[in-house]
Amino acid sequence: MKVKSKHYHIALLAGIAAWSGLAQAQETPELAYLWETTSNAVGFHESVSACIYPTIGAANTWNAVGAGYYFWTDSVANQPRVATQTQAYNYSHHTVEDKEIPDLNVPMQTAQTRTGQTLTTMINSDTYVDRARMSPLNPQRVGFTCTAGSTVPADKLDWQTAMLHELGHAAGFIDDHNITSRRCAMYYAKLAGENQRVLCDAEKQNYLKGYGLQFKILSIPNVTGPHNTNILAKINFQGTPTFPVQRHTENITCPSGWSCDDYDGSYSSQTESPLTFNFRCSVDSTKPTGTFGWRTTLTDASGTVTNSVDHTSTCTKASGTLKKDPGDKSNSVGRVIITN
């Protein structure tokens, strides 16, 4: 079964003043439809040639997430209109062109073609721009600005902001009026004067999950260091977790004569891979070298739990301490601790 030309659009909120303020709590933007392919070629009809580069900027913002789906772009306005394209060409190209959109509140809209029993597979998408907004002589419509500057005129719509939203539909996100944070690109409406050219964490995480790059621990290298010093450990991960991220490190092997516990840690600030923490063996200098086994998982603020990874830490006895002093109580239990 095939559904053609299902339209999603970005709406223009009343007023032309840019919004401001802190982000609000949000429902998770929903990635409802996935592509059968791993990429899409975004191209341009000559009617939108003035706005090619901010479109490329919007595409690159999605590409920078690192999901398993990619928007290819070029800087030439040479694509024919969708109406004149063959199906094979249309299905392999996402075309951006102008069009008459009667609804005064809709500056752009994206048409999708989907197939499958549950309508979850996308096979085509194209974006149409309200033709009246491309003309600076039309006083009835708030026009677009295609400049790359960070300041958007209060009486203009930012093309890159709007296109970031539309390419989200092209990637498979749907309109969701439950999204209450305007910090999310897929928030259903934009204001004139607004510059919103970044994705919120929830959008990045769902994009990664949908296309196979979920929040996951890639590796935790085994580490070695001397007694009574901090031994740096690293957690290499993929994905874009929502912070704060919690770490749970479970002890799975502990040498005789040592005290070992499970340890939890927290990372409050947005941090790129790797996350770090420290092992420290608090013990007298003659304690023999000991190797400890651990199992670590991460949980982000959205409740996503990673895979568990086993790793080891080894604390070594300092050289020159092969003999025990007569009064040395080296048979006392040593303790290994973990700190962030």
From CA 187, how far away is CA 339, in angstroms rounded?
A: 39
Instruction: With a cut of 80, say whether residue 54 has pLDDT above it.
Output: yes
pLDDT score, position 147? 86
pLDDT above 70 covers what percent of the chain?
85
- Give the chain's domains with CATH numbers: 2-210 (3.40.390.10), 216-320+329-339 (2.60.40)
Instruction: With a cut of 80, say whether residue 85 has pLDDT above it.
Output: yes
| Residue 105: band (very low, low, confident or very high) from pLDDT cuts 50, 70, 90 | confident
Average pLDDT, the chain: 85
Instruction: With a cut of 60, say whether residue 11 has pLDDT above it.
Output: yes
The lowest-confidence range among 161-175, 180-194, 239-253 is 180-194
Q: Which of the two residues, 207 and 286, has the higher pLDDT score? A: 207
Torsion angles phi and psi, residue 38, rounded to 5 = -105, 0
pLDDT score, position 6? 63
The one-letter code for the residue type at 82 is V
What is the pLDDT averaged over residues 87-98?
95
From CA 145, how far away is CA 100, in angstroms rounded?
A: 18
As beta bridge partners, residue 95 has: 43
pTM of the model: 0.69
The lowest-confidence range among 37-51, 150-164, 273-287, 319-333 is 319-333
pLDDT score, position 12? 66
pLDDT score, position 44? 97
Contacts of 108 (CB under 8 A, 6+ apart): 9, 10, 127, 128, 129, 130, 162, 163, 165, 166
pLDDT score, position 208? 87
List, as one string, the DSSP characters of 185-245.
TTSSEE-TT----S--HHHHHHHHHHTT--SEEEE---EEEETTS-EEEEEEEES-PPSSE
pLDDT tens digits, one per residue of 208-263:
888 887 788 999 999 999 999 999 999 999 887 889 999 999 999 999 989 999 99
Q: Which two tokens stand for residue 57?
A: 């900027």
Q: Which residue pairs from 201-204 have beta carbons closer than 8 angstroms and sit at least 24 positions apart in sequence?
A: 201/240, 201/241, 201/242, 201/243, 201/270, 202/26, 202/28, 202/29, 202/242, 202/302, 203/29, 203/168, 203/173, 204/65, 204/240
Torsion angles phi and psi, residue 193, rounded to 5 = 85, -5
| Residue 22: band (very low, low, confident or very high) from pLDDT cuts 50, 70, 90 | very low
Q: Which of the two residues, 302 and 14, has the higher pLDDT score? A: 302
| Residue 23: band (very low, low, confident or very high) from pLDDT cuts 50, 70, 90 | very low
Torsion of CA 44, 48, 51, 53, to 10 degrees: 10
